[in-house]
Amino acid sequence: MQPVVELKDVDVAFGSIHVLEDITLTVEEKDFLGLLGPNGAGKTTLLKVVAGLLRPYHGTVKLFGEDIAKSTLRSKIMIGYVPQRITLQSQNFPTTVYEIVATGRISRENTFKRLTEEDHQKIEDALRFVGLYELKSRMAGELSGGQLQRIFIARALAGEPSLLIMDEPTSGIDIGSQVAFHSLLDRLNKEQGLTIMMTSHDIGAMSHMCTKVACVNKKLFFHGLTEDLFRGDILSKVYGYHVHPIFHEEHLM
Amino acid sequence: MVLDILAYDFMQRALLAAIIVAITAPVVGVFMVLRRLSLMGETLSHITFAGVSLGVFLNIFPLWSALVATVLGSMGIAKIRQSARLSGDAALAVFFALGLGGGIVLLSLSRNVAVSLSSILFGSVLLVGWEDIFVISGTSIFTLGTVFLFYKEMFYVTLDEDLAKVSGLPVNWFNYLLSILAAIMIVAAMRVVGILMVSAMSVIPTLASMQLSRSFRQTIFLAMFLAVISVFLGMFIAFYAAVPPGGTIVLTTVSIFFLTVAAKTMRRKPNVKTS
Ligand SMILES: Nc1ncnc2c1ncn2[C@@H]1O[C@H](COP(=O)(O)OP(=O)(O)OP(=O)(O)O)[C@@H](O)[C@H]1O
Ligand SMILES: [Mg+2]
């Protein structure tokens, strides 16, 4: 089976500051990979490299077997991307929730064409998925931060991507919606076989959901099955101090 | 009363030109405002000035030379912004100065006294001829057609460039396209309100529309509608008060903007605001 993402010897630098070094990482189909690491570790950078938003100065990035250095122009939607900080260019950006989620269906395949019945169906489904269907005609500027985040998650899902990349999608989302969201991700991953990469600082929740985990802090410290993460003191090495993960069930149940 | 105005040939042409511009300019304006390119529009209009002056100097129809100069200028600015060798504002400042300085020098070198500086700066809609109408309609059809064809992509890129890139859209290409549309719109609008007020035709109706509209699509249509109203009122007032139409149109637009701000403030529930 062809890997979904293949990073080989990837180095990324901003000017003279090296942010990622020597990252070699493979994401297989149906993986649910959690990216862990402290602030400034390079998690966002790594996801941007995979999404084609940043060029590494060394190393290769392959998506579904194709080198993305050749071209990031694609006819089909392959990646659903949820950025870390959702910001509209301004609070007054005049757009409805529906118009935002609809962008998730836009690709080079449907240039010159209007969105189809099927597109609209998927957009509504995605809105229902995140539980914000009632807000579809609201202006985006009138949403709370957490609601906006969920709208952008819906947007990413609406495109039916083969790879879902989410950068701290649950930060700022209330605990009830988080639980619902986690079970939704679980279903997408297990039932529909969607490949997911996400970051979060919630190690407990991550270890619960993700099938695999990668720990980065400039370099890749660990990549493997979640259950192996807690052997040895990988976490202490990555974070630089001793870490006791907190598991959610204890608090919720 | 309105028919009084239409009794004159030049008034018919003037109204026609102004309405076409009013329909087109805000459509480009919406994208420029939301992408924070209003300043770019201002700069482009100074390059348009140089283009017009060049036409006068070479004794060719000024709108053609303006069109070429502005489109080239817009692509130059877009290129510089992308390569990021100069910061966006710095690039604009350079082009701004270049356009104004070049324009003034070329204009003073040319012997053609028929074209006055003030008509370029403040518009000369009453002198619009059929060749102008031809250029204005052509550019208008091109602009509206392009936005119609790429509406959803242009919205997507405006909402978030990065996300559009991840979806595989040629984002740079759309950035060039928007610059070119801005250039074309400015050349068309210049005849009506002059280069000093040209961005008022595109930006202010958009800002007014944003106060009231409840979706992106509505923002565009409402901006067009408000611009057309401004043009009608402005021309009407100018005709009967015997004042320059370019300035009157812009003043009407600004008045409408303030009305929409007032309307929005009144519509909002009287929340107690802590300051
Ligand atoms: N555009 C940029 N220019 C310069 N340095 C940058 C830029 N973006 C990120 N960095 C640097 O790269 C490093 C990694 O940043 P990144 O955003 O990938 O961290 P992260 O792991 O996502 O952190 P967090 O948990 O806070 O989201 C940081 O040290 C940051 O300062
Ligand atoms: Mg981050």
* pLDDT above 50 (res A251): no
Q: With 70 as the cut, is the pLDDT of residue B273 above it?
A: no
* pLDDT tens-digit readout, B58-71: 888 888 898 899 98
Question: Taking the domains of chain B in order of start, what are their residue ranges?
Answer: 8-260
Share the mean pLDDT of chain B.
88
pLDDT band at A253 (very low <50, low <70, confident <90, very high): very low
Tell me the domain boundaries of chain A: 1-77+198-253
State the distance from the centre of ligand 2 to the C-alpha of B152, rounded, in angstroms: 29
Domain B8-260, second-level architecture: Orthogonal Bundle (1.10)
Mean pLDDT, residues A188-200 taken together: 91
pLDDT for the residue A242: 62
Q: Tokens at residue A129, please?
A: 């998925």
Write out chain A residues lying below 8 Å of B37, CB-based.
none
Q: Which of A209, A202, A211 is nearest to A245 (CA)?
A: A202
Q: Which two tokens stand for residue B50?
A: 């140089």
Residue of B36, B152, B222 for testing the chain A interface, max A β-carbons within 10 Å:
B152
Q: CATH homologous superfamily for A1-77+198-253?
A: P-loop containing nucleotide triphosphate hydrolases (3.40.50.300)
Residue B271: pLDDT over 70: no
Residue A9 Cα to ligand 1 middle (Å): 19
* pLDDT tens per residue across span A47-69: 999 999 999 999 999 999 888 88
Give me the amino acid identity at B201: M
**Model pTM score:** 0.90
Q: Nearest-CA distance from A233 to chain B in Å?
A: 36
**What atom in ligand 1 is closest to the CA of residue A43?**
21
Which residues have C-beta within 8 Å of that of residue A145, sequence separation ≥ 6?
Answer: A86, A172
Tell me if chain B has a CB within 8 Å of the CB of A96: yes
Best mutation site among A78, A84, A89, A113 for testing chain B: the one with the most B CBs within 10 Å?
A89
Comparing CA positions, the residue from B226, B199, B198, B196 lying closest to residue B210 is B226
The pLDDT, as a whole number, for residue A252 is 45
**pLDDT tens for each residue of B1-53:** 556 777 888 888 999 999 999 999 999 999 999 988 888 888 889 999 999 89
Closest residue by Cα to residue B125 from B50, B47, B51, B194: B194
* Ligand 1 interacting residues, C-beta cut-off 6 A: A 14, 17, 19, 37, 39-45, 84
Q: Write out pLDDT tens, residues B128-176.
A: 889 889 989 999 999 999 999 999 999 999 999 999 999 999 998 998 8
pLDDT in tens, A197-225: 999 888 888 888 888 989 898 888 877 77
pLDDT in tens, B202-217: 999 999 999 999 999 9
**A220/A238 Cα distance (integer angstroms):** 9
DSSP A32-93: EEEEE--TTSSHHHHHHHHHTSS--SEEEEEETTEETTT----SS--EEEE-SS---SSTT-
Check: complex ipTM more than 0.95: no
Instruction: State how far the Cα of A96 lies from the Cα of A232, in Å rounded to an integer.
Output: 49
Give the burial string for A148-167 (b: 16+ CB within 10 Å, else e): bbbbbbbbbbbbbbbbbbbb
Residue B166 alpha carbon to ligand 2 centre in Å:
17
Q: Which ligand is nearest to the CA of A16?
A: 1
Q: Is the pLDDT of residue B228 over 90?
A: yes
For residue A36, the tally of other CB atoms under 10 A from its CB is 28
Please tell me if residue B149 touches chain A, with a CB cutoff of 8 Å.
yes
Proximal ligand: closest to the CA of A215 = 1
| CA nearest ligand 1 atom 1, residue | A14
Chain B interface includes A112 (CB < 8 A): yes
* B261 close to A (CB below 8 A): no
Q: Which residues of B touch A63 (CB under 8 A)?
A: none
Q: Show residues of chain A in contact with B223, CB under 8 Å.
A: none
Q: Which of B105, B87, B95 is nearest to B48 (CA)?
A: B95
Interface residue B164 vs chain A (CB under 8 A): yes
Give 3-state DSSP helix, strand, coil % of chain A, rounded to 5: 35, 25, 40
Of A198 and A250, the structure prediction assigns the larger pLDDT to A198
Q: Do B204 and B257 touch, CB atoms closer than 8 A? A: yes
